[in-house]
Structure 1
Amino acid sequence: NIEFVSGSVKWYPDQQNNPDTPVVLPFGQSGDKIITPEGVNLGNINGCWQYAGFLTFDFRSRVTTAPAFTVDKTVKNITAGDPDYSDETNASANNRVEFKIVAINTGTEIAENVNIKDTLPAELSFVSGSMKIFRDGSGTAELLPDDVANQIFGTGWNMGDLQIGANKRDMLTFRAKAPSTISESKQVVNNAEITSGALSDSDNAKVNLVPTETPVIVPNKNAKNLTSGQVASPRVIGGRTVLAFDVLAGESIEYTLLTENTGSAAAENYQIQDGIADILEYADVTAISAGGNVVDGTTGNDARLVQYPAVTIGAGESVTRTFTVKVKDPIPNTPPNGYSYDMQMYNKYGDEVIVVLSRPTPPPTPPILHIEKLVRDFTVNELNFVDFNQAIAGDTLEYIIRFSNTGNGPADQVKFSDILPTNMQYISGTTIISVNEAMEHTLPDGIVAGGVTLDTIAAGDSGYIKFKVITDAGIASGTELTNTANLTDNGATISDTAKTTFKAPVIPVSVTPIPLPRTGADTVVIAAVAAFGLLALAYRVAKFI
């Protein structure tokens, strides 16, 4: 139970001159081969004791591991509807039982090549195609063919390795059938054994064969949503598998009760009853078949019962009964109290059926977005933004995109983009935004390229985006340019436009001075001042008309 420590070999040569001084092994050796027949080559060693040396190496103890396993064998009567596996069960003629073998490795090492063997009593016959294995703690079954089952019932079958721990257990199940006639009571034993090398463990389960001539009533149940057409199917609720489906307020459900006599004698005056107290918390009975009615019962879910007239069910016969309920609309808002008013309608008649109620989900509140596109001539200090204006080629225009959300819900990831005509150029750094009359701040360039995106426009929010462009100097008079702004939200786009018509610039008027009589300096000054005033007036007209 010890093992060599790799890399621990040390060589201490020439002890007289270099006492207790380790040196590197010659020839590039690690020393790990010291425990092999090849050993370690120390090279040449001079004679005499002063050149003597020694080697050291380390060993450590090793934890001993070993597999260890346990086997648990149980059984339940499938025909009689046993809910759980147990060490023994009763079976009447033709009943089917299901055996379960659980193998758990409780040791510290994987158990390899585990062999499983089962000894089936002669009184029971294996049901072909029923053997399944669940490996490594899985809930998914692997169907084993009948030839493997025959090996298990014979010399045994190698089911592979058994992993460590209860959560890695292997489980094998199969079904067997009781004789068609049982003349006297008898207990039969089914034994299972697993082995791995020298290890082995075994366990058994017992079946008490019940004599013939007794009725065996097997109740079964299912349900269907008559409104949606959905039929109850297996679902795990509260840690157990039940039959279930979902319903909404106002939907109708039909429950079907199947009562089967699998015994060998008739069940006379058999009263079919089904507890529905939990169902009645959320639904009303609208129809009952075969003359049944609702009566008071005992306690719990049986406090109220659907009850049918007594019938005789012959051996091997079955009786079907139905009743229909309609879910209340609206669904009651009574606070839950344990299993009561828990938004589930529980019912059991052999099978457990749970109808899960769902309250209608209100539709999401949509945003309602608006956009308006306006323009003004920035060059001439035009004060107001308008739908349509005039400008001179080469002027700088400023656009504004006003937006608002008049809906009741927010709009997320809203994209704004703008399509400029070819003879306009965006002026970098001029895009600004203001929301809800807050202070303006600059947005990154991109509104006329890939667009800019706002994270959220909340319900009731409004604001604007402004930016500037410069127009080409060569735009002809009379040209009308249209600029389009787009707002895209959740795949939908709304747009608006602003238009600008270009006009010819006004040429300043040349004023020819009128010659004045040379009457003196004062007269000349007055004429010059008058002429200058006319020139100034002409320039103002050219600039602002």
Structure 2
Amino acid sequence: DTPDKPEEEVKVYPRIPVLESKKTAANLDSEKEVFEVGDTVVYTIQTRNTVSDSLAENLTISDVIPAGLAYVDGSLIVSDNGIGNAVNGTVTANFGNVPDTGWRTVTFQAKIESGQSGKKIENIATVTGDNVDTPNEPKTDITVDPKDPKLESDKSYSITEKGEGNTDAEHAEVGDTLTYKIQTRNTIEDSLIQNLNITDSIPEGLEYVAGTLKVDGEAVTDAADEDKGQAVDADILGTFGDITDTEWHTLEFQVKVLPGQASKDIQNVATVSGDNIETPDKPEEEVKVYPRIPDLESEKTAANLDADKEGYEVGDTVVYTIKSRNTVSDSLVENFMITDELPVGLSFVDGSLEASDGGKASFEGGKVIASFGNIEDTEWRTVTFQAKIESGQSGKKIENIATVTGDNVDTPNEPKTDITVDPKDPKLESDKSFTIAEKADGNTDTEHAEVGDTLTYKIQTRNTIEDSLIQNLTISDTIPEGLEYIAGTLKVDGDAVTDEEDEDKGQTVNGDILGAFGDITDTEWHTVEFQVTVLSGQAGKDIQNVATVSGDNIEIPDKPEEEVKVYPRVPDLESEKTAANLNADK
């Protein structure tokens, strides 16, 4: 099934050696896939004779290390007992006469020198022998990548020209001409910034002086043209292309300080960027415009001393905090003072007044006074005190305005805050009673109600909690069976009202009585009165009458009630009869 395949090899003489060679390069740092200046390159050169039974006489590998690389002393390794050396930038390895076809190897290291960033370094070795007509020239090349750049940037200004009448040579004033200088550099040698740009937007309060733009010291036009800079609509741009050096690169231009900027701090932030810069630099500079006139910032807050309460009620203690500071650095507030006249409805809590930063505070004539002397910094000064909410303030808004000033402050601050005093929760007390208004003909029992008598019901209620509120207080009553309402007898808080559903405070409709009192903030008694007639057939009856007292904020209405016992009291028997087995178990 499977034929034999006998074979034989004929070696033709003479046996002339033929070399095969190769060369590779790798980074000594095996975790790096690229090469940068300062890296160490490991070169490997291999060669062999490909013709068996031949002899390569005096086999030699040599390599002239190219410019940009420096041989690493002690790094040369030669296989198969070859003899190697590195002299004057040339690596040489001699293997003598080589009769076999095994590989001979030479490895050495070379460090990439500064100045090679972005370049390709080609390395060509030479492999030869005395009886080799055409030497091998194995080669390899590496490309040296730039390192990652790192920016260092700065922004500054100088006074170029003082405005007319300005004399402060050390500080910027309105009308002065300033020169901004933005400079940046790459701090990493053998690295690259791709397409370096510096941009700046002129801030409010300054105006660009046309024709003053310079890039790296060279004047450029303001127009968006082919030169390296432009100034369009207060946006400044300087372009520098690819940067491989570590020199400073600059953008300069002039601005004028506009009116209205005295005492202002004008912050100007530039942007330095490049296509391969992940996080642009943001150099900034602040221009403090003189003269430095103080400008106050103030706040006032109120809080309940009882931290668990969100609102305020009569009797609560309010903690007031007044804060103020000068917002203009390098200026002075002379005789800095905070005062607060306590409004009506509040009473000062003795011993509660505190002033920060060594301020001297007192309470005199209904006014809090705190003095801090001359203030040179921009730190907050604080005054705190407590005041108790007096009776009668329920439902009112209490506004409290402080005054913060200084001898050289033209317009004092008036920080204010207000609180709304919520009514307390109300509590009802109610009662219902009747009296005999008129005896019917023939009735003689003046102490007890009889059929035909006229009775006057009186329902009264009051709020027992001072400084509280009952919203929309009402008293309602339904005339019970056995009684009949007498038209026109309804009174609310002593005043007669009509029975109709109209705009007065009471009504009587189909035996339903209603008295409406609106919102009640006092603790006085409020009443509903009306008359009824005792109907026939009620002798001996007990007529129960339950009224309802309620309000929109009353969770559980009061239910005052009164019982009318109608006379004469004719006995009426109730009887029962039962039967049971004497044997209780049955």
- Which structure has greater strand proportion? 2
Determine which structure has greater relative contact order: mean sequence separation of CA pairs < 8 Å that are 6+ residues apart, divided by chain length: 1
- Which structure has greater helix proportion? 1
Task: Give yes or no for TM over 0.5.
Answer: no
TM-score range (shorter-chain normalised) is 0.3 to 0.5
